[in-house]
Structure 1
Amino acid sequence: MTELTPLQNLWLTETVRLREEHAGPLDDLEANRLARAAGGDLPGRIQRRALWLAERDGLTAALKHWLQGARLALVLLMIFAVLSGAGLAFAALGQTPVNVFWALGSLLGINLILLLSWALGLIFAGEHGATLGRLWLWLSEKLARDAKAAQLAPALLLMLQRKKLNRWALGALVNGLWLLAMFSALILLLTLMATRRYGFVWETTILGADTFISITQALGYLPSLMGFNVPTVEMIRASGNGALDIESARQAWASWLVGVLVVYGVLPRLLLALLCFWRWNRGKASLRLDLNLPGYAQLRERLMPTSERLGVNDPEPAQLHRVESQAGELASEGALLVAIELDEQRPWPPALPKNVNNAGILDSRESRHKLLEQLSRFPPARLAIACDPRRSPDRGSLALIAELARNAGATRVWLLQAPPGEGLDAERLGDWHVALQQLELPFADCAPMNWLESGHD
């Protein structure tokens, strides 16, 4: 089974729960048995069951595709953030001479408005940033190109909402992208200032010079503590009449503009991104299954039963699942012959080579359960399953054959000949052939003794 992170394990478990909640119980007899055989507490067994079903039904592969789509969607959003930040820098320095407060509004206006909106939403609603989050989820699903991936996003959101982690995950995404935009604007602003000469002015019709002097000094106080220059009162007052052709004035205004961008644009987003990422990691480590949910509560008796129950109780699936051996996860060795529901008229077992063991005839729930438990711990390298084709290939028999095959290195089905004087029903034999072909298991009407003994025909 594919190695997954703890968060991805919980995610797939929640996806399987939602799937069963909307579409009904899955065919999970083998998954339940393997979960019981692995032992552990109830949450561990629920996860093992869900991961086995997810692997069988393609949800694990869908998760991989979704994560690939999510990474690509994030790259696209990062590219958009970089271009947006560059656009802000070009807009800020697009005038000649540069109006310092117009430039400041271009660099910080939208950022500060959305930052305030995000903070208020976090405090009062906890869901702000959902638009950007939905855009990312939508892009992730589209880029995944897997129909089964559509079930993953709702499961992730429901799982995170229980611990209110969605606000921190979205916060890390929103603030991270805005940090990238602000950093892009800062880099381009420095590049333009390093390669071109700009003059700085301020203009007003209704405000006085003293107002602009106070605003400039107030905004420059925190940047000045970090070493950025602030224009003097004389420079500020003189810049109201036109751009000063003095190098020190240009450098002071440029340093002030860069300092204000760093302190009020870059640093808040950096600190918020780090805060959200820290809260996300801390909350992620505390995620657990909610065993009070109906979907999990119903599994308690099946995965940690007070008494074992065997048999086929689930509705018939739309199609049989392809058999894939899992014996490679454990060391498999030896050969085994087993028969399914033979009548007393047929002598059994046949003569067997010394290195081939006889597992007897499976004709009861107890015998099936005992053998399956044994095979889950000690899978044989080769398994031959003898069937009487005079019986119909019902769902229970085929499910048992598939489950036995999944616990062996290699499997062959032996369709026994009819007793002397009795023929086989051609239509029923054809049904067996079709069913075994659907399971992708090799079958024959002769005893596979050479193959059991040596692995070769």
Structure 2
Amino acid sequence: MTELNNLWLTETIRLREEHAGPLEDLEANRLARSAAGDLPTRIQRRALWLAERDGLSDALKHWLQGARLALIVLTVLAVVSGAGLAFAAMGDGLHPVNVFWALGSLLGLNLILLLSWALGLVFAGEHGASLGRLWLWLSEKFARDAKAAQLAPALLLLLQRQKLNRWAIGVLVNSLWLLAMLSALVILLTLMATRRYGFVWETTILSADTFIAVTQALGALPALLGFSVPTEEMIRASGDAALNIESARQAWAAWLVGVLLVYGVVPRLLLAVLCLWRWKSGKAALCLDLNLPGYAQLRERLMPTSERLGVSDAAPQQLHRVESGVSEQQSEGALLVAIELDDDRPWPPQLPNNVSNAGILDSRESRNKLLEQLSRFPPARLAIACDPRRSPDRGSLALIAELARNASATRVWLLQAPPGEALDADRLGDWHVALEQLELPFADCAPMNWLETGHD
């Protein structure tokens, strides 16, 4: 799946939660936190899991299939329309071709819509091209998935942040018109190669000089590419009747083809390339707007303040001492908590009546839940039980420090090994060194008297 698709699904989930309320996301949040990374990465990981669970990933595949089918339909329509323009311009070959009627048929609608697109791009900033709306509508219809209806609005909102709508629609519109103009050019050349056409111009109120000036002006750029332009004598003579001179027919035919190429095909080609370049450069800069309420609310759930990045950075030379931010007046009671104990160790031990059991912290959710509780109701005394058979990694030590900062007084209980098993002396020494750097008191016996009375 591409980066754009990931951002697209993430934005779809945000819109869905904005309109229908928060989704059930406990497992998604847990997986996002376990994957680590920065906040945008975790938000995307959460959204992709929810999209997979709720069928939005499949809906996106159906929408993309519908979009490709819609694009094929529009491509066929463009080719057929271009051919129709050429047939309408040249007629059946039995009557002379009015060159300016033919030119209007080939370029008139194209130039009007091109000017409309350019004005919309410059002054309005966004351009809701009919072809763009038609493509989105057909994509949704061909997808045949009710959930796909949520995707188009999310895509538009995502692209609007980098003002990519105009360039995406520009690529579509200009590419389709380029196909139409190329189709018209091919049919025009085919008709001229297989039929004999005569060319005339007609007017009631304009003079011949006007047509001579317009013809030569339009033919100036094509002439630079080698296309011939009718002479002044040919233009004047064509105002009375179609010249039955081979050179005159060829000159008018070359002029018509050159004008169509220079003023029809080339502008659409250049604009399609420009829009494609702007689209690709803008797409690379797409990112989530973390200031949106839907994403801002996820910050604490996906990157809680108690979380540490673990081994992603270099180990410090020494750990900083723990300073409790809780006074005795703000705290009360006693609490015992254990960190990542194995199932072979019975827990909890017998506790005095005034000591509460906080259970075993073995997941990020249980840790965050306890830390949130301690921030509101800090205990006067906190005992943290650890299994010294495990290495004192930075994640465990950071959690111990965070717990200690939310209690008036803290002691660490290094549990004895189960019967028949001995503790590793080096690993136990590592625990002693780490806890001494944290300046937390520790012991290998249960601090029950201290928890109950505050005295040893």
Q: Tell me the TM-score normalized by structure 2.
A: 0.68
Q: 1:100 to 1:130 in 2, by over 3 A?
A: closer
**Is contact 1:118-1:129 (8 Å) kept?**
no
SS at match of 2:363: helix
Q: Does residue 267 of the first structure (1) align with residue 261 of the second (2)?
A: no
Matches within 5 A, 1:248-263: 248-263=247-262
Partner of 1:98: 97
SS at match of 1:167: helix
Q: 1:237 to 1:291 in 2, by over 3 A?
A: same
Distance 1:200 1:77 in 2: 33
**Is contact 2:117-2:129 (8 Å) kept?**
no
Matches within 5 A, 1:274-423: 274-307=273-306, 366-367=360-361, 369=363
Partner of 1:22: 19
Distance 2:223 2:276 in 1: 29
Q: 1:366 to 1:63 in 2, by over 3 A?
A: farther
Instruction: State the 1:358 CA deviation.
Output: 5.7
Distance 1:77 1:67 in 2: 15
Distance 1:164 1:191 in 2: 42
Partner of 1:76: 73
Alignment counterpart, residue 31 of structure 1, candidates 28, 32, 36:
28
Instruction: State the 1:366 CA deviation.
Output: 3.9
Distance 1:241 1:145 in 2: 59
TM-superposition CA deviations, 1:268-290 (whole Å, max 9, x none): 01101111111011101000110
Q: Does residue 218 of the first structure (1) align with residue 231 of the second (2)?
A: no
Partner of 1:133: 132
Instruction: State the 1:360 CA deviation.
Output: 7.8
Partner of 1:56: 53
Distance 1:220 1:134 in 2: 36
Distance 2:229 2:129 in 1: 39
**Is contact 1:73-1:139 (8 Å) kept?**
yes
Instruction: State the 1:163 CA deviation.
Output: 1.2
SS at match of 1:192: helix
Q: 1:45 to 1:360 in 2, by over 3 A?
A: farther
- Consecutive unaligned residues in structure 1, runs of 5 or more: 309-356, 374-457
Distance 1:171 1:142 in 2: 22
Q: Which amino acid aligns with 2:363?
A: H
Q: What is the root-mean-square deviation of aligned Cα atoms in Å?
A: 2.0
Partner of 2:146: 147
Alignment counterpart, residue 82 of structure 2, candidates 60, 80, 85:
85
Distance 1:204 1:52 in 2: 69
TM-superposition CA deviations, 1:101-141 (whole Å, max 9, x none): 00000000111111111110111112224322221111100
**Is contact 2:62-2:148 (8 Å) kept?**
yes
- Consecutive unaligned residues in structure 2, runs of 5 or more: 308-341, 349-357, 368-456
Distance 2:187 2:132 in 1: 28
SS at match of 1:79: helix
Q: Tell me the TM-score normalized by structure 1.
A: 0.68
Distance 2:347 2:202 in 1: 94
Partner of 2:180: 181
Task: Determine what percentage of the aligned residue pairs are the same residue.
Answer: 79
Q: Does residue 8 of the first structure (1) align with residue 5 of the second (2)?
A: yes
Instruction: State the 1:222 CA deviation.
Output: 0.1
Instruction: State the 1:85 CA deviation.
Output: 0.4
Q: Which amino acid aligns with 2:297?
A: Q
Distance 1:129 1:10 in 2: 23
**Is contact 1:68-1:144 (8 Å) kept?**
yes
**Structure with bigger gyration radius:** 2
Instruction: State the 1:307 CA deviation.
Output: 2.9
Greater Cα shift, 124-133 or 51-60: 124-133
Distance 2:78 2:287 in 1: 34
TM-superposition CA deviations, 1:166-214 (whole Å, max 9, x none): 0111111111111110010000000000111101011111111111111
**Is contact 2:229-2:254 (8 Å) kept?**
yes
TM-superposition CA deviations, 1:213-262 (whole Å, max 9, x none): 11100000000000101011111111111111111111100000000000
Q: Which amino acid aligns with 1:245?
A: N
Distance 1:80 1:359 in 2: 72
Distance 1:119 1:220 in 2: 24
Partner of 2:429: none
Distance 1:362 1:209 in 2: 106
**Is contact 1:362-1:368 (8 Å) kept?**
no
**Is contact 1:9-1:47 (8 Å) kept?**
yes
Instruction: State the 1:296 CA deviation.
Output: 0.4
